[in-house]
Amino acid sequence: MTTHQRIVLAEPRGFCAGVRRAIGIVERALDLHGAPVYVRKEIVHNHHIVGELEKRGAVFVDSEDEVPEGAVCVFSAHGVSPAVRAGAAGRRLEVIDATCPLVAKVHQEAVRFARDGRTVLLVGHEHHEEVEGVRGEAPEQTIVVETQEDVERLDLPDDTPVAYLTQTTLSFDETARVVDALHRRFSDIVGPHGDDICYASQNRQNAVKSLARDNDLVLVVGSRNSSNSIRMVEVAREHGCAAHLVPDASHLDERWLESVSSIGISSGASAPEVLVRGLVERITSLGHTEVHVDTGATEDVVFAMPARLADPVTGRVPRTPLADEAR
């Protein structure tokens, strides 16, 4: 193994506004209601965050049917279908919705396009929770496509009135290619007002491109079920750099560092900074002595918390420690 020289940290990295809001909602719900607070699916796709919230009394379930009648239930940042909302209402659950506002925008667009009589072509991964929720807004009018080949295989006349939407955590470049294929295929096509891919996913992918240009290896901190983290690894590889997903420092394979003098590190939008710090500490113990920051876009987006979680005396929603960790 060679003597390592430097680590380059991407900026921005880690928590986005939607993730910070969702985690804060669970923390605040626990403060107000006490344990247990039930959360449908993982609040965000990160094993560390889920584990920390479980320690405080959050109970994660796969379905609203598993929540005791009348209990507090938080919907995850990835959003849910109308059928899930109806199921929760039928069980008289006290629902607190942590859906990311950018995901909620895609839901609203799906409803609008379906109401206009268009076939909705949803670019995304078939079984991702976000896609399942959006498709549920108009299941009989929605078709999920993932690749340019999927577009060519669609059993629809070329003059079918269609609309396209995209999952918020996709690769910006790959999605653009799929959208271009849709425009080539269909003569009557409309899309969303502005990109559906969230600002944080775009910023982190752009930062990874910069890391890939200037380093021998890129490591992305994020859980294996985190779509935006996986896309970041793919982006680095597409730009000619070796890259790996690292859920935490214990998953670092030291063989990756052989003959590597410069390592770029970033983290997905649901990965807490404590995991990045742990990885940096492990790598510095192996020989990297210089740590630099590669600064890209500045992020100042903040999403408001639900008013129902405000302090009854002050009317303000207090900041919460886990959500605010990376500030």
Overall residue count recorded for the chain in this entry: 327
Per DSSP, what are the bridge partners of residue 95? Answer: 73
Predicted confidence at residue 239, as pLDDT, reads 96
Q: What is the pLDDT of residues 42-97, one digit of tens each?
A: 999 999 999 999 999 999 999 999 999 999 999 999 999 999 999 999 999 999 99
Alpha carbon distances (Å) from 158 to 153, 161, 184: 12, 9, 9
Residue 327 scores a pLDDT above 70? no
Whole-model pTM: value is 0.94
The answer to whether 130 is a known catalytic residue is: yes
Residue 1 scores a pLDDT above 50? no
Catalytic residue, candidates 109, 130, 132, 137: 130
Q: What is the pLDDT of residues 144-195, one digit of tens each?
A: 999 999 999 999 999 999 999 999 999 999 999 999 999 999 999 999 987 7
Name the nearest CA neighbour of 13 among 227, 324, 169, 232: 232
Q: At what angle do helices 17-33 and 47-56 cross, to 10 degrees?
A: 10
Predicted confidence at residue 57, as pLDDT, reads 98
CA-CA distance, 108 to 191, in Å (whole number)?
13
CA-CA distance, 134 to 16, in Å (whole number)?
21
Residue 3 scores a pLDDT above 60? no
Cβ count near 158 (within 10 Å): 11
CA-CA distance, 148 to 128, in Å (whole number)?
19
CA-CA distance, 207 to 323, in Å (whole number)?
23
Give residue 2's pLDDT band: very low, low, confident or very high (50, 70, 90): very low
